[in-house]
Amino acid sequence: MRYFIKLSYHGKDYHGWQIQPDVISVQEVLQNAISKLLKKEIAIVGAGRTDAGVHAKQLFAHFDFESLDTSNLKNRLNAFLPDTINIQNIIPVKKDAHARFDAVSRSYEYKIWLGKNPFLLDTTWQIHSKKLDITKMNEAAAILLKYTNFKCFSKSKTDVFTYNCTITNANWTVKGNLLTFHITANRFLRNMVRAIVGTLYNVGIGKISIAEFIHIIESEDRSKAGISVPAQGLFLTEVSYASSIYK
């Protein structure tokens, strides 16, 4: 049988989701834990990968095993795993359901704290001195929905078959000192959200105009876009699937 694991994690202690040599990852920690509890080598496939230091409020992964008590396994895993990883649910799905390939959309948030807050150092990018024009940043963000090729925001030397993504939502909200960028798309390129935020930040401080923002997208040139903002402000917030994958 195939199962989806719905989980969340704080990314500070991990070198991202994906297993890599000589560093600790969320996938490795989870895979080792479930293999020990089920007393069998289990391979886990995630919906996608997050970079080192990035957090996930919701991520799905799948694994195969014979029939099991999902509630009992969830509780045992949460008792066994470090506090930085939480299993929200384990769900039986159809045998060909795939956590990565069946995802229809993914959503991220990027959090900026306008000022200084020592208690949010691990979960926000803190800007102490720059004033941002949020209206201009939202005007630029809306332009993203008019394009599909985002090569200019992709990490260089990335091996992908296409730079095309369909963005369905991109906007900034403000609550007190917390500025949050929300973005949803069918897929994302490596480093894409952090590069978009870095470029929108340049719009917000007046370094580039709306016209220049458009030119950057159309150039397909990563060197023209803004910096890749710090990882700790980024959260994967939702991965969506068609209801047909569930039993």
Phi, psi of 93 (to 5 degrees): -135, 175
83 a catalytic residue: no
**C-alpha–C-alpha distance, residues 182 and 171, integer Å:** 5
Amino acid of residue 231: A
Measuring CA to CA, which residue among 146, 143, 137 is closest to residue 200? 137
- Which H, E and C letters describe 153-175, residue by residue? HCCCCCCCCCCECCEEEEEEEEE
Out of 13, 22, 51, 69, pick the active-site residue. Answer: 51
Q: Could you give the CA distance from residue 247 to residue 244 in angstroms, rounded to a whole number?
A: 8
Q: Which helix (H) or strand (E) holds 9?
A: strand 2-9
> Amino acid letter at 11?
G
Here the tokens at position 159 are 């091996």
- For residue 193, what are its two tokens? 């959200």
* Residue of 97, 91, 12, 5 lying closest to 46 (CA atoms): 5
DSSP helix, strand, coil percent of the chain (3-state; round to 5): 30, 30, 40
CA-wise closest residue to 88 among 19, 13, 4: 4
Any idea which residues carry the catalytic annotation?
A: 51
